[in-house]
A and B are shown apart, each in its own frame.
Chain A
């Protein structure tokens, strides 16, 4: 209390000093006239109709100008050395003084750490406003200032909401979108109607004085404007309370999104009141509903459109870095104004514009621009908030507006509190059916108690037309009381309440590397489990959205250089800067040390300084925390951003040397140019490991089977034959050469194109000559066996033709029972592989599968060595329905194969076997005489070959190999 009075004293003194300053510098007669000039409200309004940004700039420039004027400028009259030009500078001067006073006030009460932890800033600001208003009232006998709705809606509100929207933790927001929407729409409607009706009931019951004129419509109108939770107040109070993120985002999100409801209700009732309740048609109610949809959806759309425009614009600002921040401010602000222009929900528009553009804009603009945007937004928002609360306080002093009715005030206070609590409890009960983490009772208490009303309600009530709403003065007074009560009383008590209820607090700390890694793993786990359980749950859809974002949005909205050099690079720089700052903080001499400069000179890597600082930290400072939060001030809004940054850190920590940093585990950071790379890599890795596990589990068994296989070699031959040469089934192999030749070009073409597509994958595949198949091949056979032996039913198979030339068949014809889902999920260029690998797994009862799960290096070596192994051992198995295996019987030395069995065997092949043919085709050793056709046929992709190709490197000495291509 002492502190309060002290501060008040100081503030008053400060204000008095300011006045004194004015007065002193004036000639006495002018001083008298100067102050009254500010009085006319019309004039006063105009002076605030400057763009908010302009105002803050002016505040800095103003003093200088004034001095000039005071000293010597303006040579209007030759004899005057000093001229008083108050009217010339009055407007900006007043604004600047106000801002200065507000800023001083902030400095003052932040002197006392203990004090500010107890009393929220908003309370103090209101108190200051009250005091200032009182001082002005006493000195002038007339209240000078009031929170002007125009000023509020056009300049103050957008700065706060814009800041909130732009730095909104998007993931958290969308995680809880359902709850937020529910509270914002249903909750606000409930509050508005109940409060309105009950107040009217009280009026009829006589609790509210008859002086308060108004019918049902007026009270409903009042209920609508008083029931909306206010974003400014919520932000101001909750930011200091540090409740857990979920709770905060729900209350805050609600306060933003309920704008549409408030706006519509307000407008609808205004029009109803204007025409008179008697003249309202039924259709008007439906119009009201339609209007709500248009206002909310329209507002959102406008915001998203501007978000796209903004993101797209920042793609091209490379040469004009200096005005990058300006684009951000202008377009975000235009989103707000445009929505206002069409009388849509401006707050929704602004919020979604901010949420939508943040990711892309942050990626596009430079580090400096990011900092500029961040600090300018924070500054503006902070100033706007200060002004709003001070003016709220000042406005309350205006006695002329006051029309007190105890009944109305107390009823309103009770109703808004009771209905808020009821609404929260009811909705939470409903929501908890669907929520993963139910909101418990404590959360509900905080949410009910956190339903703060604020300046929006005040501005709306001031805007009421006195001619239509007779009881306006009563409503204004009540609103002021409600706002003060909620902001001051509830704002003051919510902190102790939260502490007393032991509400889980939010944490500011940055995730450690462990947490980064494990939480990312958790995400993968959950997605996988959802997929396994067949739920299209939240993770599923988030995944979908990320795919979409990756494939289209990011491509459109991000700079090419960004996804080339990648956001990673930008983010990495961010971290480096922070690291550098922390280094300086921990002892500036570090930077001068030779170690730091040397490496960058020595290596021409693209990340010299990055490497150095982080490495330095890593090597020397066990105590140095890489996560030091160098410059961040607003944790709640920044959490998401930080988290992402840290993912980059965890993924790419320490000297990323190459240009492409891709596919670390954060999908958020998939660079666009390499969009599908991660999928591909993971896919290949998975396939490889599957094959390896096949290999290892079945190897022994395979050995046993080998002898059996040999016996069956002939079968294989036959089938191979057939696969390659369907039309002429009964022709011996020599005959088909002419047939194979024409096919070959296509095939090789098809294959050639593949590696190029996947160039950057680190794994190569290449057409391969059958005779050169590496020794390891036998090991892979078991994989086939495993696939073949599982007893599941064979799904309907595609036609031979499709299988024969799988790469020719479009997606639509993808074989087997793979759901269409697969084609959406798996990257296009891998779909073939997927389908084929699946088909190999599917065709369990008989198909021979040749898989070669080799380490790339091993296989490459073996191929390079080029020992031509007996093909018998290379051949995979066929027709293994009951675990039998068969052996192809090629002639090792010549590459010929024996055809022991005659054509009669061929004819005996079942249809099923025929289907399996393509699987065998690649392993069929080529007929010796004409090598090209042999290669061609060998190159045919069957699933396993494809898989093998995915996981192995090509032999270097083949005619068709392009050498190992780094994919």
Chain B
């Protein structure tokens, strides 16, 4: 599969993806073969079902939210390009990138992009604010059924109070960044892709 998969990938595609995402050539080929094996329809794009077929995701509390994050708004398919673009958020920040891209557009794996990814998981309506309801939804996903709504509500209230600086009872993205400013997001939102 691997060799076939990689042969389906054209060099120029690889180059473009490389430029856009910062993945190395071998990483791209490797991930392409993964993409290919997920792609049961063999049409070069993944549907939600393709993702849902991954057994681990079924027991991941945020599984479906994460799956959704792979799909651009309003679309049901994601091609390899988009797939890689999403994965690129989780590429570790490398030393030389810290300075190199200062002038260029921000790389996908920058701190704020990583945070934005997480933020979007909460912010369903994309109004750049996490409302209490949206927070509650995610919390509900992450906790068990035995925590009552009331309890969860007070946790959500506290969370928002803690983060909210302008008193709108929502967490805006800038507040989100502020709350997590002491967290090593670069590390905690990165995984090591095989070389």
Contacts and interface: CB of A to CB of B under 8 A. Distances in A.
Interface string A510-541: 00111101111111111111111111011100
A530 B148 CA distance: 32
Nearest to B34: A534
Interface stretch (B9-17, B43-51, B99-107): B43-51
Interface stretch (A300-308, A645-653, A873-881): A645-653
A519 B184 CA distance: 10
A266 to B, nearest CB: 36
A818 B192 CA distance: 26
Contact of A515 (B63, B180, B187): B180
A534 B37 contact: yes
A436 B61 contact: no
Contacts of B117: 525
Contacts of B183: 515, 518-519
A774 B170 CA distance: 39
B51 A532 contact: yes
Nearest to B76: A697
B87 A529 contact: yes
Interface string A418-445: 0000000000000001111110100000
- Chain A interface size, as a band, is 35 or more
Interface in A623-667: 650-658, 660-665
A656 B57 contact: no
Nearest to A833: B58
B91 to A, nearest CB: 10
Contacts of B61: 524, 665, 678, 682, 685
7 contacts: A512-B179, A525-B118, A530-B191, A532-B54, A656-B146, A790-B47, A793-B40
Interface string B93-137: 011000000000000000000000110010000000000000000
Given A507-B182, A517-B139, A793-B40, A537 B191 contact: yes
Interface string A820-862: 0110011100000010001001101000000000000000000
Contact of A437 (B37, B38, B92): B92
B129 to A, nearest CB: 15
A540 B56 CA distance: 10
A445 to B, nearest CB: 15
The 5 closest A-B pairs by CB, nearest first: A663-B144, A792-B41, A822-B55, A665-B142, A534-B34
Contacts of A653: 151, 154-155, 158
Interface string A892-928: 0000000000000000000000000000000000000
A538 B143 contact: no
Given A434-B192, A539-B191, A656 B151 contact: yes
Contact of A528 (B57, B144, B180, B186): B57
A655 B155 CA distance: 11
Contacts of B31: 533-534
Contact of B162 (A434, A512, A682, A762): A512
A656 B147 contact: yes
Contacts of A526: 90, 188-191
B7 interface: no
A524 to B, nearest CB: 4
Contact of B55 (A523, A656, A693, A834): A834
A517 B122 CA distance: 12
A652 to B, nearest CB: 6
A528 B62 contact: yes
Nearest to B187: A437
A761 B48 CA distance: 27
A842 B57 CA distance: 16
B4 interface: no
A683 interface: yes
A841 B187 contact: no
Given A436-B190, A690-B64, A521 B142 contact: yes
B191 A535 contact: yes
A678 B192 contact: no
A196 interface: no
A549 interface: no
A120 interface: no
Contacts of B57: 528, 531-532, 686
A178 B187 CA distance: 17
B42 interface: yes
A795 interface: yes
A664 B56 contact: no
B58 A686 contact: yes
Interface string A491-514: 000000000000000010100111
Given A434-B192, A525-B189, A825-B59, A660 B146 contact: yes
A513 B155 contact: yes
A525 B183 CA distance: 16
Given A531-B60, A618-B154, A817-B53, 15 more contacts: A521-B62, A526-B189, A531-B54, A532-B87, A538-B191, A677-B144, A681-B145, A682-B61, A682-B141, A683-B59, A686-B59, A792-B42, A792-B49, A793-B40, A821-B55
B188 to A, nearest CB: 5
B86 to A, nearest CB: 8
A791 B46 CA distance: 11
Contact of B43 (A530, A761, A791): A791
B193 interface: yes
A538 B146 contact: no
B185 to A, nearest CB: 8
Interface string A671-688: 000000111011101110
Contacts of B155: 513, 650, 653-654
Contacts of A519: 183, 188
Most chain B C-beta atoms within 10 Å of own C-beta, residue among A512, A679, A787, A791: A512
A65 interface: no
A603 interface: no
Contacts of B154: 618, 653-654
A842 B40 CA distance: 9
B55 A685 contact: no
A525 B67 CA distance: 10
A819 interface: yes
Contacts of A693: 48, 64
B189 A514 contact: no
Nearest to B171: A514
Contact of A533 (B49, B64, B146, B193): B193
A410 interface: no
Contact of A838 (B37, B53, B144, B180): B53
A655 B163 CA distance: 23
B192 A518 contact: no
Contact of B192 (A537, A685, A825): A537
A833 to B, nearest CB: 9
Given A525-B62, A529-B90, A532-B57, A437 B193 contact: no
Nearest to B49: A841
Contacts of A661: 144, 146-147
Contacts of A509: 182
Contact of A834 (B58, B60, B159): B58
B169 interface: no
A518 B54 contact: no
A36 B66 CA distance: 76
Most chain B C-beta atoms within 10 Å of own C-beta, residue among A514, A534, A795: A514
A435 B47 CA distance: 32
Nearest to A440: B95
B44 to A, nearest CB: 12
B70 to A, nearest CB: 8
Contacts of B26: none
A687 B58 CA distance: 8
A957 interface: no
Most chain B C-beta atoms within 10 Å of own C-beta, residue among A532, A652, A838: A532
Contacts of A518: 118, 179-180, 183
Contact of A682 (B59, B87, B151): B59
A678 B56 contact: no
Nearest to A838: B53
Contact of B147 (A529, A538, A664, A761): A664
A529 B34 CA distance: 12
